[in-house]
Amino acid sequence: MRDYHRSVTEPEPVHTYHHGDLRRALLEAAEQMIRESGPASLSLREIARKVGVSHAGPTHHFKDKTGLLTAIAAEGYRRLGESLRAAYGSTGSFLEVGVAYVRFALAERPYFEVMFRPDMYRRDDPEVVAALGTVDDTVFGAIRTMLGPGQEDRVQTVGVAAWSLVHGLAMLTINGNLPPELAADPEGLTRTIGAAAFRSPDRALNATT
Amino acid sequence: MRDYHRSVTEPEPVHTYHHGDLRRALLEAAEQMIRESGPASLSLREIARKVGVSHAGPTHHFKDKTGLLTAIAAEGYRRLGESLRAAYGSTGSFLEVGVAYVRFALAERPYFEVMFRPDMYRRDDPEVVAALGTVDDTVFGAIRTMLGPGQEDRVQTVGVAAWSLVHGLAMLTINGNLPPELAADPEGLTRTIGAAAFRSPDRALNATT
DNA sequence: TCCCGCATCTTGACGTTGACAAGATGGCAA
DNA sequence: TTGCCATCTTGTCAACGTCAAGATGCGGGA
């Protein structure tokens, strides 16, 4: 009852309080429970039970249930930002940023699901806002580079188009709306569709008509 | 306490039971409440209160809270099917089907939000399955016509691409993820992006380079 | 016209939940 | 050693979803 789910690879818990790094343990338990049964049925008390702490234990770290979900959303946006940055950094391909987006949605599904349920957390939370800003910067930076100079007026539109495409694909895959043979290889599907919707990888959208 | 929110244009309530057409009244109240504060915070007892019925009133019509949401999802898919069919029928344009999809998502937002939260209702419900099948038939029928003969192997991919695009756009708009100047005219945005991603309205996706 | 069956709704109760207040615990700085 | 305060516990409350059992009253058969 003193050392919870501390990951072995975790270096330092910053502080070992009365019962270990409770905040992290709660977040990990929440992530696992969301992965198993979705964010809708999440219960604070069940999280506390699973971690071995009293039912009001979480209150001090996240004041609300909303507070816990806000922390999860913020962490999700941070991880998404890292994933996209890593994908762009290692490939230089804008298409691969989209693939990384879909990959993140499926691999880190608990975070992704919470992130896009804005009625479940506080979107104006500073950490959320900051992490979201970082994601935007990464994506639009990549788009600017891809389009080249003198295309500033198209950056926003292209960005929204690309975001819509991969976000929709991720959502439909997660929600089980796609035929199984396509849902089996989401990354391949993303490349196929992305390359088809864009003239070629890392080139601009087609001109209208 | 005997005649609830019966719409004046409604022809016949099929049966005027003890307290009117309760089932319809409950669904309408639920829709309104979801529109005001999202589906996450929906409360069966509050719906019952609003309609003026006891807290267990809904039980007989929808056995569960899940049952009520299932009914909403089914109705949503039916309305979506009608909207898409009407759009295609009146314009013959596949792009306009996409525009209708986004328009539906925003105008009938309560339905749309429930429909794509599969952990909140029973997706294997017969009514849901039937209504969903109708939507699929409409969309893929339109795609087949658009692509012309001999393109059967591309129908699925093109369908998923188009669906992803408009679904993502609808979701991002609803969730407030788009910059305000773009979110102000969702239908125009859909036409711009749709026409850009596709070679031209009602033509195939670009071939991959 | 009466009456009875059954769909419809109510009443009451139970276990669970999120939230709050107040108290216990124990590490750490002085 | 002492006292502070972050941390966690205990106790309580209203609200919720669900179930069981009872009341209500419409409509068909006599």
Question: Is B2 in the same domain as B86?
Answer: no
Structural tokens at position B16: 């005027």
Residue B147 is predicted with a pLDDT of: 86
Residues of A in contact with B156 (CB under 8 A): 179, 182
Distance CA B141, CA B144 (A): 5
Nearest CB partner across the interface for B178, out of A117, A120, A160: A160
Q: Which residues does residue A205 pair with via DSSP β-bridges, in sequence order?
A: A198
Question: Is B167 in the same domain as B146?
Answer: yes
Tell me the pLDDT band of A96, cut-offs 50, 70 and 90. very high
Chain-centre distance of CA B196, in angstroms? 25
Structural tokens at position B153: 């192997």
Length B54 CA → C24 C1' (Å): 43
- Residue A171 counted as domain residue: yes
Length A13 CA → C28 C1' (Å): 17
* Burial class for A60, CB neighbours closer than 10 Å (0-12, 13-18, 19+): exposed
- Residue B206 counted as domain residue: no
The angle that helices B126-147 and B65-91 make with each other, rounded to 10 degrees, is 20
Q: Which amino acid is at B111?
A: Y
The yes-or-no verdict on residue B48 having pLDDT over 80 is: yes
Question: Is B80 in the same domain as B168?
Answer: yes
Interface contact A196-B205, CB threshold 8 A:
yes
Of B61, B88, B111, the residue at which a domain comes to its end is B61
Question: Is B43 in the same domain as B143?
Answer: no
Q: Which amino acid is at A105?
A: A
Closest Cα partner for A114 from A66, A160, A82, A173? A66
Residue A119's domain is classified under what CATH number? 1.10.357.10
Number of domains in chain A: 2
Closest Cα partner for A128 from A115, A140, A113? A115
A196 touches B208 (CB < 8 A): yes
For A119-165, write each residue's pLDDT tens digit. 999 999 999 999 999 999 999 999 999 888 988 888 899 999 999 99
Length A13 CA → C29 C1' (Å): 21
A163 touches A136 (CB < 8 A): no
- Residue B29 counted as domain residue: yes
- Alpha helices in chain A, H assignment, sequence order: 22-37, 44-51, 57-61, 65-91, 94-107, 109-115, 126-147, 152-174, 180-183, 186-197
Of B61, B95, B110, the residue at which a domain comes to its end is B61
Chain-centre distance of CA A164, in angstroms? 15
Residue A28 is predicted with a pLDDT of: 96
Nearest CB partner across the interface for B206, out of A40, A178, A196: A196
Work out the mean pLDDT of chain B and round it to a whole number.
87
Query: B132 to each of A57, B73, B129, how far by Cα in Å?
Result: 44, 10, 5
For B161-184, write each residue's pLDDT tens digit. 999 999 999 999 999 999 999 999
Residue A11 is predicted with a pLDDT of: 37
Residue B14 is predicted with a pLDDT of: 40
Q: Which of A64, A121, A132, A160 to mutate to test the interface with B (most CBs of B within 10 A)?
A: A160
Question: Is A50 in the same domain as A79?
Answer: no
- Residue A146 counted as domain residue: yes
SS3 at position B203: coil
The residue that minimises its CA distance to C1' of C25 is A18
- In this structure, of B36-45, B58-67, B142-151, the range with the lowest mean pLDDT score is B142-151
- Residue B203 counted as domain residue: no
Of B39, B61, B83, the residue at which a domain comes to its end is B61
The yes-or-no verdict on residue A2 having pLDDT over 50 is: no
The yes-or-no verdict on residue A12 having pLDDT over 80 is: no
Residue B9 is predicted with a pLDDT of: 35
For A103-113, write each residue's pLDDT tens digit. 999 999 999 99
- Chain B CB within 8 Å of residue A117 CB: yes
- Residue B75 counted as domain residue: yes
Tell me the pLDDT band of A6, cut-offs 50, 70 and 90. very low
Given the structure tokens 């789910």, which residue do they identify? A5
Question: Is A55 in the same domain as A114?
Answer: no
Give the residue numbers spanning the domain of A6: 1-61
b (16+ CB within 10 A) / e for A179-203? eeebbeebeebbbbbbbbbbbebbe
Q: Which nucleotide is nearest to B21 (CA to C1')?
A: C8
Question: Is A48 in the same domain as A80?
Answer: no
Question: Is B155 in the same domain as B170?
Answer: yes
Residue B10 is predicted with a pLDDT of: 37
Question: Is B122 in the same domain as B46?
Answer: no
Q: Regarding predicted confidence, which is higher, B110 or A156?
A: B110
Closest Cα partner for A81 from A55, A65, A67, A100? A100
Nearest CB partner across the interface for A116, out of B160, B175, B198: B175
Distance CA A157, CA A167 (A): 15
Residue B73 is predicted with a pLDDT of: 98
- Residue B46 counted as domain residue: yes
Question: Is B114 in the same domain as B90?
Answer: yes
Is strand C within 7 Å of residue A199 (CB)?
no
Question: Is A37 in the same domain as A82?
Answer: no
Question: Is B156 in the same domain as B193?
Answer: yes
Residue B164 is predicted with a pLDDT of: 97
B202 touches A209 (CB < 8 A): no
Q: Residue B197: which residues within 8 A CB-CB, separation 6 or more?
A: A161, A165, A197, A198, A205, A206, B161, B165, B205
- Residue B21 counted as domain residue: yes
The angle that helices B186-197 and A152-174 make with each other, rounded to 10 degrees, is 90
